[in-house]
Structure 1
């Protein structure tokens, strides 16, 4: 797999296709930030220090670069790890979280890579997201059938909140303001939501796209999700007809939405 990321600048996305690319959501303009051949399935953003964090699966490390950036970016290695998949950043407490699908761990460190801590040993953890306000980590697994779990920021009080998913989940997010969790099923393409305690499960849309349904990100009104070589957005409350934001020639993995000064930016990973 190659890495393809794209970022949108208020309106803007980041994607990964053998490199990091920025997509302006207002104009559709695509700008190359950096080129590389890597497997990357997600990205995270530090809103205080303004860094994008990128977990490189096959290389076994996490790198970062400053964003916004008007120049070609230089990647700085933060921490060495093992098969990282999901990643999230806590800008309030300045902690980076990620999953290692093998050997199976949920990890945490400081923004500079120091104080690496194993929070939890888990079976094939994949996507994760943070509820910073209530100090919860939500994460999924690469298992079929699958489940979604919740644990606190110290890896304690682990519990299953979503059971009997038909396939595994590689895209997950939480909206603290409305207390709802959102996720995309990889094989079925079902975009679903539930209360943050796992109740009231609803299907926002069934895309009917088999496999290649990867990452999601969201703002106050919309969910952005990747489906093979497209980034699509849909109203997360009304479930209206989805809109294609970007179509690429390569497979898209992760997507990161960036917002600043009234603009949106999103990042995607493609191959």
Structure 2
């Protein structure tokens, strides 16, 4: 019995250690340049993939250990295995116009993404292998960011110059969460505390609200305002907020009023985390 308990505790510790190690890395894409890996412990930056393409979102399928990303002007979605000793990129599916936001539903083996021609956009879904392409929403106004809460069956969408809204994965029960009066190109969800975080491009404000739209507040000002400086990416992990300040990878806390720390300066703008 003691041996069984020891083995059980050992496996739990090993799994926890592996999870912590995996979460110590941040992947980000730079403008028309690279996908890079940033090690939070060593601050080392490693180039994983040369892009020569515009990528506004990255997501990860933890079941198959694949990184997925849409190429905005190439009209396709790509993937590669990670972590691995050798990066091999595969095309998953060809899209229509300008795929920007992308989210993986590992539970149901789906990819969701946004497309737009000018201001007229839609949301599309397919299987993880690129099959069974289905348009699930039409006539959206410049949809740019897409996040999923698969556990509670919610989809959150930023229509870039108009609003943040949520709906069920089948687009029923649509709810307006926040009206937008200027450009918003990044948003993420704190699943544990059920809060949204997004950055307003022309003010540099990093804002937050509950997933039902209540308790709106400004967490901090990033000191990055368009048109000379853009906030294109944000990622929430635990109590940490990782975001791009144009070419800077920055970190702050989900508590209101705290400042932020610059982790890394790139030579190109950071477009997705």
Query: In the alignment, does 2:217 pair up with 1:192?
Result: no
The match for 1:77 is 91
The match for 1:161 is 177
TM-score, structure 1 as length reference: 0.86
How far the C-alpha of 1:253 sits from its partner, in A, is 0.8
Asked if structure 2 preserves the Cα contact closer than 8 Å seen for 1:135 and 1:153, the reply is yes
The match for 2:35 is 20
TM-score, structure 2 as length reference: 0.85
Q: How do 1:83-162 residues align onto structure 2 when only pairs under 5 Å count?
A: 83-102=98-117, 103-121=120-138, 122-143=140-161, 146-162=162-178
Q: How do 1:230-245 residues align onto structure 2 when only pairs under 5 Å count?
A: 230-245=248-263
How far the C-alpha of 1:25 sits from its partner, in A, is 1.3
Asked if structure 2 preserves the Cα contact closer than 8 Å seen for 1:187 and 1:213, the reply is no
Name the stretch that deviates more: 55-64 or 112-121. 112-121
Q: Which has a greater percent of helix?
A: 2
Large movers: runs of 4+ above 4 Å: none
Alpha-carbon displacement from aligned partner over 1:4-40 (angstroms, at most 9, x marks no partner): xxxx953211122312211111111121212121011
Q: How do 1:202-221 residues align onto structure 2 when only pairs under 5 Å count?
A: 202-211=217-226, 212-221=230-239
Query: In the alignment, does 2:56 pair up with 1:41?
Result: yes
Which protein shows a greater Rg?
A: 2
Could you tell me which runs of 5 or more consecutive residues in structure 1 were left unpaired when the two chains were aligned.
Answer: 1-7, 256-271
Q: Which has a greater percent of strand?
A: 1
Whole-angstrom CA distance in 2 between matches of 1:142 and 1:10: 29
The match for 1:10 is 23
Alpha-carbon displacement from aligned partner over 1:58-95 (angstroms, at most 9, x marks no partner): 00000000111222x12100111121001111122221
Across the two proteins, how many residue pairs are aligned to each other?
244
